[in-house]
Each structure stands twice: as C-alpha cells, then as structure tokens.
Amino acid sequence: MANIQEVAKKAGVSVATVSRVLNNNPSVTPKTRLKVENAIRDLDYEPSMLGRNLRNSESRLLLVLIPSISNPFYSDIINGIQNTAIANNYNILLCETNSSPERENIYFNMVKNKLADGVISMDPTVNMEKLTELAENHSIILCSEYEEGGSIPYVTINHELAAYHAVKHLIKLGNQKIALINSDEKFLYARQRRNGYERALKEFGLPLREEWIYHTHQLDFQDGVQAMRMLLRLDEKPTAVFAVSDTLAIGALKEINVCGLKAPDDIAVVGFDNISFSNMTNPTLTTIAQPMYKMGCTAANMLISIIRRNKVESMVLDHELIIRESTMG
C-alpha cells in the first residue's frame, strides 16, 4: 500500500499538500487538488490511521464494556451506541469482561495506552474504584448500571419507579400475594427494584413476606426455573410474580407450565427488559421496556461530549410497561 510520500511524488507536490487534500483544507487550488486526487486514485492510496492517530494522539475508538455478548439485553443499546459513534466518526470496540477483573484490566489499559478514546461501561460488576480513578484522566460514561453519588456521569432509567409500576399493575389485576424474583442485591438496580416492589405493596396495604422474595445467583433461564420451583413449594403460594429480568421470568413461566399450572390464570408473571424473546414465549410476557436504543445513543453522545471536553449531565430516561398475555390472559 502506497504512503503519503509516494502520492506526493506522483502528483508532483509536497506531502503537506496531499495532507491538505485529504483533510479538505480549502486553501488548495482546484487544479492542485485534482492532481493529488488523480495520484491517490492511481496508486489506490488509503491514508494510514496509524500515522494519523499518532499525530493527533487519538484513536477514534470507543470501548463498550459488557459482561457478556450473549445477553440479549444489550443488543439494542449497542446498536444505539454504534450508530451514534459511526455518525461521529468513531468506532466501537465491544469488550466482554465476563465479569473477570483481568479482562477488565486489559481494557482499562487500552484506554491508558491511548488505544481507545473513551469507555461506556454497562458492566454491573465493574470495579468502580478503578473506574473512578481512570475517569480522572480519561472519558468514561456509565450506562444503565451506575453509582449513586459517584463522580462518573451516567444514563439510566428509574428502576425503583419501573418496579413500582410493574407491581402496581399486578395489584390492579386483583393480585394480593405477589412474589419477587430478584437478583443479587449487591447490584444497585436490584436494590432499587426491590424498593419499588415494597413501595407498591405498602401503598396498597399488602403483606410483605420474606419467603416471597427469592434471590437468584445469576440472571439465567435456569435461575428463574429454580426460583419458581421454590415459590411453588410454599404453603402460601403467591398468585403473581415480578421477576427482575425477562430471562428469569421466562424460566418462571416454564416451571409454571411444567407443574401443570397456567399463566396468568394460576400465576401472573411480569418480567423486565422486553428482550425480543419475551414476545415469543407462550404465553407472551408482560414486561418493562427500557428505551434501549435511546439509552445507547444518549450514552454515546455523552461520551463524545466528554471527549471534546464539554460538560455533561447524567440522564434518567423513561420506561414503559408492556402488557401481554402473562398477566392479561
């Protein structure tokens, strides 16, 4: 592949002029520009990003930290990030941390190494201390999961309110005994969603029973199956379940089915996330939709703002309750 020197020689100009043409500098005469453009075409020249990036000390690469690619929850957010990034001449590097600190370190180093210009973290297990330290000298945004009172700007939804809406929907349908399938409460969103659940119950004077709250280890389908199995073994069975993720809810639906029960007649189920499969289950799943795509766009725009040394404000976006068959048979 030709370099800028060869183009300059072929066009009979200096490398500076070639560079000007490449960067659309208006001070080049049309005639010179033409000569250069011809040389570029003849030599099939493409400017090397390596040289350009070194000179400009930027990589135009954004890191997106997610725990796992296979979690469908992130798909639309990533689409939003990606489209926004490309529109601003950035590319994204999708980084799977597998919740492993070593992996995380590799990516943090890429930022320090100037191989990336900024980070959008969606990993709830991220080492917040290290990330905050990194944020002192680099551009970082939190997306979805964030830190209360932290110094890093974030974009998220109101998890407490969303959970409140989900549970209120179940109450309005006449359910009095409502269980919560929650994930580990070391995660902020889990604590917030539990708060919303409790607030709804209290507001309607419904009992709050510890045995109706099940904590799963992960967010997998099997954890939902297991959770539902335990809830169905109780003497006083719940008539409705709010699961903090669709995968858990789909697992719960499966177990309800296996036990010969029917949703929503015997037990109503609400999930969270509106993943694409939530519309394919039988019955289809009532769930809370986060504005994924918009959240991604917002996160990317915020990050690019920070990179440009502008001030940004954290944002809280709206959610939506999507009512389907699992509560309204």
Partner DNA sequence: GTGAAAGCGCTAACAA
Partner DNA sequence: TTGTTAGCGCTTTCAC
> How far is residue 245's CA from residue 271's CA, in Å, rounded to a whole number?
5
β 320-322/286-289 pair status: antiparallel
Q: Confirm or reject binding of residue 279 to DNA (CB under 7 A).
A: no
Question: What would the two tokens of residue 168 be?
Answer: 């209120």
Burial of 304: CB neighbours in 10 Å, binned 0-12, 13-18, 19+: buried
Please count the CA atoms within 13 angstroms of the CA of 115 that sit on its side-chain side: 8
Minimum Å gap between C-beta 6 and DNA is 8
**Phi-psi group of 274: left, alpha or beta (phi > 0 → left; psi -120 to 50 → alpha; rest → beta):** left
* Interface of this chain with a copy of itself, residues 102 to 121, rule: CB under 8 A: 103, 106, 109-110, 112-115
- When computed from its CA atoms, the radius of gyration of the chain, rounded to whole angstroms, is 26
Residue 31 binds which one of DNA, a copy of itself, none, with CB within 5 to 8 A depending on kind? DNA
Q: Which stretch, 50-58, 234-242, 295-303, 315-323, contacts a copy of itself (CB under 8 A)?
A: 50-58
Minimum Å gap between C-beta 226 and a copy of itself is 13
In the list 251, 264, 271, 296, the residue contacting a copy of itself (rule: CB under 8 A) is 251
Report the residue number, 197 or 221, with the smaller CB distance to a copy of itself.
221
**Phi-psi group of 193: left, alpha or beta (phi > 0 → left; psi -120 to 50 → alpha; rest → beta):** alpha
Question: What would the two tokens of residue 140 be?
Answer: 């970082």
Minimum Å gap between C-beta 117 and DNA is 14
Report the residue number, 13 or 78, with the smaller CB distance to a copy of itself.
78
Whether omega for the bond prior to residue 264 falls within 30 degrees of 0, making it cis, is yes
Question: Residue numbers of the site for a copy of itself (CB under 8 A)?
Answer: 1, 46-51, 53-54, 57, 59, 61, 69-70, 72, 74-76, 78-79, 82, 86, 91, 93-94, 96, 103, 106, 109-110, 112-115, 137, 221, 250-251, 254, 257, 276-277, 279-282
- Site for DNA, rule CB under 7 A: 3-5, 12-20, 22-23, 27-29, 31-33, 47-48, 50-52, 54-57
